[in-house]
Structure 1
Amino acid sequence: MASPTVTFLTITTPGDIQRYLRQNSLFSDLPEDALREVAEFCRVRRYRDRQLIHARGDVPDGMFSVIAGSVRATTSSDEGREALLAIMEAGAWFGESSLFDGLPRAYDAHAQGDCELLFVPRSGIENLLDRRPQIYRNIVRLLCQRIRLSLFLLETNALLPLEGRLANRLLILAQAEDHSISPELRLSQEDLSQMLGMTRQSINRVLKLWESEGIIERHYRGLRILDFPALRRKITDN
């Protein structure tokens, strides 16, 4: 399901980029001169709804941060079955692992609705890291968060039934990159079925039950979490 269209340019100058980086955990502790340097070699890219950002197997040329809109990370089987790995919202970084292992992109990334991204080219960040190795600490922290999340998802997928897995995924989606919580989730039941590997009918049955219990509220753009403690209990009760 598409996010609201980005109809204006939220970042237009190096000064805007520098202020954006200052608010982002990956670069927020850099001195001003380093931030100015990063802002000079970064570029703002804008994509239309469903436009390909990078494909699985592409040679990595940089990493991205979502300024506005959202991005779908997907992979497909040889038979054409698609799995939705993640939806990256504003503030999220993606593509950083390929900068260090040099391997091709591991998934397809498409714009979900019109979106605006900050592109950090590989050449620029590598030169900066050579001179300011303290940035490695922030990137390693980000990669560790990714690993912990992956292990957590593997554990819950293996041990929990559908209700617990769905509750767990909604709670993860509600938490932004900066650890803030948003009850509003812009994704469809088809998105959830692709994430969890379950049928849309099964997802609909559980969501309908939770709506009757006052835990969530469904609408045409997605859903809203009304009762976080009750949703967490769906995990522990299972």
Structure 2
Amino acid sequence: MKVKFDIETIQKAIDSSPWFKDMPEQGRNQLARAAKIKQYAKKSYVFQNGDSDTDIYCVMSGRLRLGTTSSTGQEFTFTDYNQGSWFGEATLSIEEPRLFDVLVLETSIVLVIPRKDVLSVGEEFPTMYRHIFIDHTVKARGLYRLLEGILFYPLSARLAGRLLEQAQLHGVQTEQGVRLDISLSQSDFANLVMGSRPRVNKIFGQWRDKDIVVMEQGKYLIKNLAALEDELALIDE
């Protein structure tokens, strides 16, 4: 669903983008004029595997999830997109169907720019591609690291790593520890670490008994960050 957004807000999002930050004002203004704002309902998709979608996107508000689902229904999560996240850039280099799904976790407002408009601006200001390439490389390195963890790390280490990642993104410091200011189920964490829900539940139970991670008012509370970091440190010894 299309929604109205003032041009100043759209322009601010583009001006602050890591992709366009060094682009002359003329180019950024062209992108702002081409941009549209869409609202996506919870549990809908921005795009899915096999879609011929060719837009690029920025999350203005809400939360999205990049993942994939096997033919047997098994889900795996790569990463979440939060406010300020840009994605969809692969379409700028090759016009092929999407490989993954982007699921809407909560009602979200998303800025959308058509591929043709980005390419047009890129022809005039080709330095844009350098920043997109750098950002894409950072994302790729994160995915390689994630793949390494799945292949070689025990489940407890993968789960600790994902918790620490969420603490960096959504952690709120309290007197008791770091509370994740986001709703995540054990099924969500199972998808994040490529593990079964019963095994993830067992590890959370062990951490709860050791007062490392507990549930408080429906949110995860990390009471001992050092203990989670130790789970990762054991791998490097």
TM-score by length of 2: 0.85
Counterpart Cα distance in 1 of 2:138 and 2:171: 17
Q: CA deviation at 1:62?
A: 1.0
Question: Equivalent residue of 2:93, what SS?
Answer: helix
Match for 2:84: what amino acid?
A: G
Aligned counterpart in structure 2 of residue 140 of structure 1, from 118, 133, 136:
133
The CA distance in 1 between the partners of 2:130 and 2:200, in whole Å, is: 39
Q: 1:53 pairs with 41, 46, 66, which one?
A: 46
Q: How far is 1:151 from its partner?
A: 1.2
Q: 2:14 aligned with 1:14, yes or no? A: no
One of 169, 190, 199 as aligned partner of 1:202 = 199
Change (3 A) 1:142 1:224: farther
**Aligned residue runs from structure 1 range 10-49, under 5 A:** 12-49=5-42
CA RMSD of aligned residues (A): 2.3
Contact 1:73 1:87 in 2 (8 A): yes
CA deviation string 1:9-40 (max 9, x = no partner) = 8x711111111222332222333332222111
Q: Secondary structure at the match of 2:89?
A: coil
2:175 alignment counterpart: none
Over 3 Å counting, the alpha-carbon distance change for 1:222 and 1:87 in structure 2 is farther
> What letter corresponds to residue 234 of structure 1 in structure 2?
E
Native 8 Å contact 1:188 1:221 kept in 2: no
Question: Structure 1 residues 220, 201: CA separation in 2 closer, same or farther (over 3 Å shift)?
Answer: farther
Residue aligning to 1:189: 186
Structure 1 residue aligned with 2:67: 74
Bigger radius of gyration among the two:
2
Identify the match of residue 235 of structure 1 among 211, 232, 236: 232
Q: Is the 8 A contact 2:62 2:106 kept in 1?
A: yes
Q: CA distance change for structure 1 residues 213 and 191 in 2, over 3 Å: closer, same or farther? A: same
Query: 1:213-234 deviations in whole A, cap 9, x for unaligned?
Result: 4433424654244443332211
Which sections of structure 1, spanning at least 5 residues, go unmatched?
Answer: 1-8
Deviation at 1:124, TM superposition (A): 0.7
Give the deviation of 1:175 after TM superposition: 4.1
Please give the per-residue CA displacement for 1:47-105, whole angstroms capped at 9, x wherever unaligned.
11111211211113211111111112232222232223322222222211122122210
CA–CA separation in structure 1 for the residues paired with 2:136 and 2:28? 21
Which of 122, 127, 138 is the matching residue for 1:129?
122
Give 1:5's aligned residue.
none
SS of match in other structure, 1:49: coil
For structure 2, the residue ranges without an aligned partner over 5 or more in a row are: 173-177
Larger mean Cα displacement after TM superposition, 68-77 or 82-91: 82-91
Alignment counterpart, residue 211 of structure 1, candidates 208, 212, 215:
208
With normalisation by structure 1, the TM-score equals 0.85
Q: Size of the alignment, in residue pairs?
A: 226
CA deviation after TM superposition for structure 1 residue 141, in Å:
0.7
